[in-house]
Amino acid sequence: MRTFALLACSLMLLGLVSKPLYSQQQEACTVTDKAANLDFVLLDMDGAEVKLSDYLGIVILLDFWATWCAPCRIEIPGFIELFDKYEARGLSILGISVDDSVDALQLYAEEMEMDYPVLIGDGRDDVKDAFGPLYGFPTTFLINREGDICHQHTGYAPKEQFEQEILSLL
């Protein structure tokens, strides 16, 4: 699984696998009638319980990622910028690490200066399945205030694209 995901991440980063394109005008919600399953409690990297359903009512950028994923490393600084810029307007970013140990997460989050919640997804196939199948990493979902999945990206997407999509939902 890890080898396949690493290969998929590499291909997406190189542009050999298609990724969503964006335009100057973004529709508010491009996926219709697909509610996000937020009925999960995960631990963050500090051991605190995080209920996904507590985020209902705000815009959620839900990112499935891994420390070994090169496109993930490229996207995370943009997510930090977006979180810092739009948190006060109702954006939350939740990063779910798909298979990393707590020690690896803590070191990585410190190195990357991640200031949004980093959740442990290792061993949580129930959460991955609820949003899957996940064909590669990163896989990122934008969820509106009502809990509907509005945008989904598999592989790298530029910060500007996420920003347009976020602004359409705020």
Model pTM score: 0.83
Q: Is 9's pLDDT higher than 80?
A: no
Q: What is the pLDDT of residues 90-127, one digit of tens each?
A: 999 999 999 999 999 999 999 999 999 999 999 999 99
Q: What is the CATH number of the domain that holds 16?
A: 3.40.30.10
Instruction: For residue 147, name the pLDDT band (cuts at 50, 70, 90).
Output: very high
Task: Tell me how far apart the alpha carbons of residues 93 and 82 are, in angstroms, rounded to a whole number.
Answer: 9
Asked if 119 contacts 55 with a C-beta cutoff of 8 angstroms, the reply is no
Asked if 74 contacts 107 with a C-beta cutoff of 8 angstroms, the reply is no
Give burial (CB, 10 Å; 0-12/13-18/19+) of 27: exposed
Helix residue ranges, H only, 48-120: 70-86, 102-112
Instruction: For residue 31, name the pLDDT band (cuts at 50, 70, 90).
Output: low
Q: What is the pLDDT of residues 59-98, one digit of tens each?
A: 999 999 999 999 999 999 999 999 999 999 999 999 999 9
Range of the domain at 131: 2-169
Cα distance between the two ends of the chain = 36
H-helix or E-strand spanning residue 133 = none
As for how many domains the chain has, the answer is 1
